[in-house]
Amino acid sequence: MGRVGKMYGNISFYDDIKIKAEQLAPEKRWFFSWLCAVRALPFLNVKRYFKCWKKSEIKQHLQSIFYVCDSSNPHVLSEASFIAYNNYVSTKTDAIAAADAAYAAAAYAADAAAYAYDAYADAAYAANTYAYATAAYAYAAYASAYSAARAAYAAYENNSQKHYPENFFQKFIDIISDDIEMIRTDNYNSFNNDTSIYGTLFDNFKNDLYAIGCGYWADVYDDLFINSFKQDDNAIKALNDRLKIPDAVRNEGATAVASYMQNLERQGSTSVMRETRIIVLGSAGAGKTTLTRRLNDDDSFPAPGDSTHGVDTQSVLNLNGIKSRVWDFGGQVIYHSSHRCFLTENCIYILVVNARTEENRDITRINYWLDTIRVYSDNKAKVFMVINEADDRRQNEEDYNSFKNGEFGNLIYDIFSFNIGNDIESVNNFKSALANYIEATGHQVFGINDSGAMKEIKALFDQNKQIVNSDKIKNILLDSNIEESDHDRVTKLFNTLGVALSYDFMGDYVLDPCWISRGVYMVIDYLQKNKTTFINYNDLDIVFANERSAYPTDSYEHIFNLMDYYNIGFRNPGGIRGLIIPCAASQLKPPGININPEPDNIITRVERDDLLEFPADFFYKFICNNQSDIKRNGELWSMWQTGMVLGGSNASALVELKENRRIEITIWGEKKVEYQKNLEALINDLLIQYNFTSQAEERNRGGKITRFIILMVEAASKGAAKGFAEMIGKNFM
C-alpha cells in the first residue's frame, strides 16, 4: 500500500510528519511517539469488548500495550536513556518511526482492504512482547508507539469507516499535525483533548475496560485526556509504581495490574523491596558450585566427584546492599525434570558452560539450557552466561558470542568468559555486573501492609520455621493491618511471587519454597541412588535421616502433595501409599515389558517446528498424565525414561521419546482412532501449559496414516532485537 492520503502542499501527511520529526530533538520525537500511541489506544476497541483478540488473551495484550506506553512515558525517561536511545536508533529511522506512529494512529489510508486484521493484531502483540521483554532498553518508546499504532491501524483496516463520525480522519490528522507543531515550539500546555471526535469509540473504550475489570486503566487514560496530557505528581507517582510492580503480577495481565494498583492506593503508602533470586544452571561439572562459592568470597573448590545433589539454597549474596539468594542446582539430568515448578517466578539466571568438557561445548546442550530457561520463565528471564575457562582452555569467543544474535538473543543479558576457579578479578567484575543489573531492575513496590507481612513471613522462614499454619498466618496478616476479608488476596499474592507457597490442597499452610524444593530434590536423589521409581512414607525417614528437625514426619505429606500437584510423580493406585516418580525410571526399556503392536496401527508424531528438544520434564509429565493407562505387571510399571506402554479400553499404545525432540505414539487395537484422539487431547493440554501452540496437519504415508502435529513456540519468543529490526525494516503500509 502506498503512502497516499491527504496532501500537504505536494507531500503526503506521512512525509510531512517524517520531515518534521527529523527536525525534532530526540526527546521531543519520543514524546510525540508516546502521544500518538495514547491517542491511538481507543482504536484497540473498534471491535467492542476487545474482541479483536482471543478472549483468553485480552488481558495480556492490553497489559503489553499499557506497559510499553508506561515505559515510554516522557516522565520516566532519563537523560541516560535518551543517550542510549539515540545511539541505538539513528535520527532517520527514529523519525520514520514517529511518522509511522502518527500515520498509523491517524489510520489514514486510502487503501483499506489490503491487510487481514487478525494478522496485524498478532503482529502488534508480538511487537509489544518484544518491547515488553526489553522494556529496560531505550527503544521501548518507539516500539510502543509504533505497535499500539499498528494495532489501531489494523483495527481500522478491518472495519469500515461507519464507526467514525463524519470527517473523523481529517480531524484526527489535523490534531496530530498540531501536536508535532506544539511539541516543536515547546508548547506542552494545550494539546487538543477533544474526545468527541472519536464518536462513541472513546466512551466504549473506557466502558469496556471497566467491564473487564480494568477500570483503573480507563481512569488513567481518561485523566490524561482530561488534563490535556499533563501529569500531576499523583499521576507520576502512580506511573512509577506501575513500572515497579512485581513481574509475576504484571505477567498475569492488565486486570491483575489494575487490582494491584488499587490495593497500593488503598494501603496509602508503599514500600519498595529489593530482593532477587539467582538461579544457577548448567550441566554437571560446569563449575556452578565453584562460581556460587566465589561469589560468596569462598575460595575453596568442591572436591572432584562431590557434585551438588538436588539444589543448594544456602548462599545469600549482598549485592550493592540487595539481598539475593542463590539457588545452585545439581546438573544431573534427573533434576531438570522438576526445575519448572520452582522456577516460574521471575528470577535472574546464571548459565554456566564449561569450555573444557565436550558436553558443554556442544551447541545443542547450550540451546537446550537456554530453551529451558525460556520456557520456564515464559520468555521473561535474563540470563548471565558464564563460560568457564577452567584449565585456561580458551574457546573461540566467536563461538559463544553467536548466541547473542541467535534465537535466544533477547534472553541473554551478557556473556562472560573467565576461569571461575582462579581468576578472582574477573569473578569480581562479573559480580559487579550482576549487582548493577539487580540494582537497576530488582525493585518491587508493595503496599506498606503487604510488605510488612511479607517481611514477617520471610523472617519465620529464616528462623527455620518453614511450615506455617493458618492461625499463624492469620495473626501475621492481622498484625500487619490486613483485614481478614483481604487475607486470601495476600496469600495468593505471596504464592504468585514465590515468597510463600500455598495451594488449595494444602488448606491451612504456607511453605518456604527453598525448603520444599530442597526436600523434593532430596527425594529424587534418593530414588536415583536406589534405582527405584517408588517411594513411600517410611522411605522418607531414610531420605531425611540427617535432617530430622527440618523435615519432621508431619512434613512428608506436604512434599508428596507438591510432587503430585506438579506431576513430578503420581500416587500409587493400590497397595502401599506412596508416589511413583517417572523421572527416576530406568534409562532403557526394562526387560520383561512386552510390546505387540498390530500391523494396522496408527502413528502420531509430535515435534516442535523449531526442532528443538522438549523441555526436560515434558515427557515425564506426559507419563504422569497417562498414569491410569500405564500397563503394569504387579510392581513392574511399563515405563522408562523415554517410553511407556499404555493399555486403554480396546486400544493400546507404545509411546516413545526419540532424541528428546520427537514423541512417537504407535496405537493399535479395536478403538485405536478414539484412543489416538484422547492421547492427542492430553498432549495438547500439556502443550498449552508450556505455552506451545499447536496446529495439526495430516499426511498419508505408505498406506499408514501418519499424523504430524507441528508445534510452534509463540511468536513472542523470537528475539527482541530481531523483532525490532523487523519493525524498522518492514514498512507495513
Ligand X SMILES: Nc1nc2c(ncn2[C@@H]2O[C@H](COP(=O)(O)OP(=O)(O)O)[C@@H](O)[C@H]2O)c(=O)[nH]1
Q: Which of 5, 215, 287, 519 binds ligand X (CB under 6 A)?
A: 287
Considering only 290, 338, 561, 641, the residue that binds ligand X (CB under 6 A) is: 290
Stretch that binds ligand X, among 197-205, 301-309, 457-465, 652-660 (CB under 6 A): 301-309
Q: Which one, 307 or 470, has the nearer CB to ligand X?
A: 307
For residue 719, the partner it binds in ligand X, Mg ion, none, with Cβ less than 5 to 8 A by kind, is: none
Of 253 and 285, nearer to ligand X (C-beta) is 285
| Distance from C-alpha of 95 to C-alpha of 115, rounded to nearest angstrom | 24
Interaction with ligand X in 151-180: which residues (CB under 6 A)?
none
Query: At its nearest, how many Å lie between Mg ion and the CB of residue 690?
Result: 27
What's the sign of the alpha-carbon dihedral 295, 298, 304, 310? Answer: negative
589 is an interface residue for Mg ion by CB under 5 A: no
The option from ligand X, Mg ion, none interacting with 480 (CB < 5 to 8 A, set by class) reads none
Run of H or E including 332: none
Number of DSSP helices (H) and strands (E) in the chain, helices first: 29, 25
CA atoms within 13 A on the CB side of 288: 32
Contact predicate 37/106, CB 8 Å: no
User: Which residue in the set 26, 42, 253, 285 belongs to the binding site for ligand X (CB under 6 A)?
Assistant: 285
C-alpha cell of 265?
492506593
Residue 471 has which C-alpha cell? 492461625
| Angle (CA) 133 137 143, round 5° | 70
Does position 308 interact with Mg ion (CB under 5 A)? The reply is yes
Q: Is 384 exposed, middle or buried (0-12, 13-18, 19+ CB in 10 A)?
A: buried
Q: Binding to ligand X by residue 616, rule CB under 6 A?
A: no
Nearest to 140, CA basis, from 74, 59, 58: 74
The piece of 44-52, 88-96, 159-167, 306-314 that touches Mg ion (CB under 5 A) is: 306-314
Task: Report if residue 390 touches ligand X, rule: CB under 6 A.
Answer: yes
Per DSSP, the residues of 551-562 read S-GGGHHHHHHH
- Tell me which residues in 330-369 interact with ligand X (CB under 6 A): 331, 352
Q: Choosing among ligand X, Mg ion, none, which partner's interface includes residue 282 (Cβ < 5 to 8 Å by kind)?
A: ligand X
Min separation Cβ 285 and ligand X, Å: 4
In the complex with ligand X, which residue's Cβ is closer, 307 or 684? 307
Residue nearest to ligand X (CB): 421
Q: Is 294 in the site for Mg ion (CB under 5 A)?
A: no
Q: What is the size of the binding site for Mg ion (CB under 5 A)?
A: 3
* Minimal distance, residue 289 CB to Mg ion, in Å: 3
Q: What is the DSSP string of 67-115?
A: HHHHHT-GGG--HHHHHHHHHHS-HHHHHHHHHHHHHHHHT--S-TTSS
Q: Which of 308, 346, 444, 676 binds ligand X (CB under 6 A)?
A: 308
Asked if 301 touches ligand X (CB under 6 A), the answer is yes
533 touches, from Mg ion, ligand X, none (C-beta below 5 to 8 Å by class): none
CB 9 within 8 A of CB 44: no
Among the listed ranges 100-108, 307-315, 447-455, 573-581, the one in contact with Mg ion (CB under 5 A) is 307-315
289 scored as a contact of ligand X (CB under 6 A): yes
State in angstroms the smallest separation of the CB of 393 from ligand X. 10
Q: Which of 5, 26, 421, 615 binds ligand X (CB under 6 A)?
A: 421
Answer with the entry of Mg ion, ligand X, none that 517 interacts with (C-beta below 5 to 8 A by kind). Answer: none
Q: Which residues of 633-671 are buried (b: 16+ CB within 10 A; e: fewer)?
A: eeeebbbbbbbbbbebeebbbbbbbeebbebbbbbbbee
Determine, following the binding rule CB under 6 A, whether residue 426 of this chain makes contact with ligand X: no
In angstroms, give the least distance from the CB of 313 to Mg ion.
Answer: 13
Extract the C-alpha cell encoding 275.
530482593
Distance CA 283, CA 608 (A): 23
Nearer to ligand X, 421 or 719 (CB): 421
Determine which residue in the list 288, 294, 431, 621 makes contact with ligand X, applying CB under 6 A: 288
Could you give the CA distance from residue 655 to residue 604 in angstroms, rounded to a whole number? 9
Shortest CB 283 distance to ligand X, Å: 7
The residue from 288, 336, 356, 431 that contacts Mg ion (CB under 5 A) is 288
Question: What is the grid cell recorded at 600?
Answer: 494396522
β-pair partners for 270: 447
CA distances for 502 relative to 62, 378, 555, 690, angstroms: 28, 21, 14, 21
CA-to-CA distance for 405 and 33, rounded, in angstroms? 28
Pairing of strands 382-388, 348-354: parallel
C-alpha cell at 233: 505528581
Nearer to ligand X, 302 or 578 (CB): 302
Q: Does 307 bind ligand X (CB under 6 A)?
A: yes
- With contacts defined by CB under 6 A, name the span among 298-306, 336-344, 478-486, 532-540 that binds ligand X: 298-306
Least distance between ligand X and beta carbon 367 (Å): 18
Closest CA to 499 of 490, 487, 488: 490
- Minimal distance, residue 357 CB to Mg ion, in Å: 14
Q: Which does 421 bind (CB under 5 to 8 A by kind): ligand X, Mg ion, none?
A: ligand X
Q: Cβ closer to ligand X: 288 or 374? A: 288
634: left (phi over 0), alpha (psi -120 to 50) or beta: left
Q: Look at the chain and count its residues.
A: 733
Which one of residues 74, 302, 597, 647 is an interface residue with ligand X (CB under 6 A)?
Answer: 302
**Beta strand spans in 187-321 (E):** 270-273, 275-281, 311-312, 316-319
Name which of Mg ion, ligand X, none residue 420 binds, using a CB cut-off of 5 to 8 Å depending on partner kind: ligand X
Shortest approach of Mg ion to residue 525 CB, angstroms? 13
Choose from ligand X, Mg ion, none: what does 213 bind? Cβ within 5-8 Å by kind: none
Under rule CB under 6 A, residue 386 binds ligand X:
no
The correct pick among 204, 419, 517, 717 for binding ligand X (CB under 6 A) is 419
DSSP annotation of 574:
S
Q: CB-wise, 392 or 488, nearer to ligand X?
A: 392
Q: How far apart are CA 355 and CA 365, in angstroms?
A: 12
Stretch that binds ligand X, among 148-156, 304-312, 477-485, 542-550 (CB under 6 A): 304-312
- Does 604 help bind ligand X (rule: CB under 6 A)? no
Binding region for Mg ion (CB under 5 A) out of 123-131, 200-208, 308-316, 356-364: 308-316
Task: Identify the CA nearest to 125 among candidates 147, 102, 155.
Answer: 147
What DSSP element (H or E) covers 444? strand 444-447
Interacting residues toward Mg ion by CB under 5 A: 288-289, 308
By CB under 6 A, name the binding residues for ligand X.
Answer: 282, 284-290, 301-302, 304, 307-308, 331, 352, 388, 390-391, 419-422
